[in-house]
Amino acid sequence: MKKIPDKDILIFKSCLVSGEYPGVESSTKYLFDKLGVEYVLDERQSCCTGLGYYFDLFDQFSTTALAARNFAIAREIEHKNIATLCATCYAILKKACNILNENDTVRNRINQIFKDSKMDHMEYSPGDFDSHSNIFHAAEILWNKTAEIKEIPKIDLSNFKIASHHACHYCKVHYKEETIGNMRNPMIIEELAKTCGVETVDWYDHKRTTCGAGFRQRFANLDLSLSVTADKLLSLQENDVDILLHMCPNCQMQFDRYQPVIEKKLNTKFDLVHLNIAQFLALAMGADPYKVVGVQTHTVPLDNILERINQASPVVI
């Protein structure tokens, strides 16, 4: 089992969290504060390029060069434990880190670019970062604190049935040694949700299926994209799931933004809402839905869960 840190953490900002569900970032900060996880954010950190990489617009070399720049920032502020909010940032950074450590030609070319641009301080030396022990998903940092989370008073949400969507770029890209638990049936989200005393659907047909965003497919091939999302929604409907918990803003966007579109297409109604695992835990701990959790940027209304929260106050479960 990999060693998960709780200090010297750089929360790695994500373009889709920032622009679609900023409440994921504020909820993560809220939880880290409550759990005594020491972290910083840095305004200089750039986008990982991930969406562009999978739109086939970014080449691996340019993506790796920008990763080296972001690694240099984390090194300079002595917060070398990177916690991503997005599964694609997680996969992109791990790959870039491995290339920088192992491929001398690429590393030398990137370092030469830094030298020629008077950015010598950005130069990367082999072993500066280790993809295994320095790059994490924020959900893993939380999972490592499951025992502490259990102790924090929470609102009783046991009348909601929960399922997870673990995000392909978290569990399938660097699947060999990096995914916590069984990559064929990841349980990080369920184990975190269970701290709130809720019932979780630990396996459902299509649990491992992609959200359907497919990067370019959502935009250039919408029907194909939505047919995959529909597979998963129908399976969740069969299991009477109330809340689908996420760990990737791209997947969350696919389900939350397009669920009403698919409902119209299939002439059905999904009684299903979408939250990131950090948003869910923050809500359960009594965080303000609008000032911390950011429910105002969601498309599928969260009325049911907000009603429940308004009626109750946090207690030790």
Partner 1 sequence: MEIKTLKIGKKNNKLTESIIHDLRASEDIGVNKCIQCGMCTSVCPASRHSDYDSREIAKRVLEEDESVICDDIIWNCFSCYSCHSICPVGNSVAEIVQILRQKAIAQGKLEQVVTFLAFGESLMELGIGSIPLEYFNILIEIIGDEYLDIKINLDDIREELGLGKLTLPDDDTRDIKIILEKTGFTNRLEKLRAYKESNKNSKHKG
Residue 121 is a binding residue for partner 1 (CB under 8 A):
no
What are 13's two structure tokens?
């900002």
Q: How far is the CB of 150 from partner 1 (least distance, A)?
A: 26
Judged by beta carbon, residue 262 or residue 317, the one nearer partner 1 is 262
Rounded to a whole number of angstroms, the minimum distance from the CB of residue 184 to partner 1 is: 8
- The minimum distance between CB 79 and partner 1, in angstroms, equals 16
Determine if 239 is a binding residue for partner 1 (CB under 8 A): no
Using CB under 8 A as the binding rule, whether residue 51 contacts partner 1 is answered as yes
Helix (H) or strand (E) holding 273: strand 273-276
Least distance CB 55 / partner 1 (angstroms):
4
Q: Which one-letter DSSP state was computed for residue 47? A: P
- In the chain, the amino acid numbered 146 is T
| Shortest distance, position 44 Cβ to partner 1, whole Å | 5
Site mask for partner 1 (CB under 8 A), range 122-161, x = bound: ----------------------------------------
209 sits near partner 1 (criterion: CB under 8 A): yes
Q: Which is nearer to partner 1, 48 or 198 (CB)?
A: 48
Cβ nearer to partner 1, comparing 210 with 276 = 210
Q: Site size for partner 1, by CB under 8 A?
A: 78
Structure-block tokens of residue 203 = 């396996």
- Reported as half-sphere exposure (CB side, CA atoms, 13 A), residue 143 has a value of 21
Secondary structure E strands in 181-238 = 199-200
Binding segment toward partner 1, per CB under 8 A, in 77-85, 158-166, 167-175, 240-248:
167-175
Q: Which residue has the tokens 């019932």?
A: 199
Q: What is the rounded (10 degree) CA torsion for 141, 215, 174, 31?
A: 0
Site for partner 1, residues 29 to 48, rule: CB under 8 A: 29, 41, 43-47
Using the rule CB under 8 A, is 9 a contact of partner 1?
no
Residues 6 or more apart whose Cβ sits within 8 Å of residue 65: 110, 113
* Least distance in angstroms from the C-beta of 58 to partner 1: 7
Amino acid identity at 61? F
Whether the CB-CB separation of 196 and 317 falls below 8 Å is answered with yes
Round to whole Å and give the CA distance between 237 and 271. 8
d(Cα 198, Cα 248) in Å, to the nearest integer? 21
- Site track 68-87 with partner 1 (rule: CB under 8 A), x = hit: -x------------------
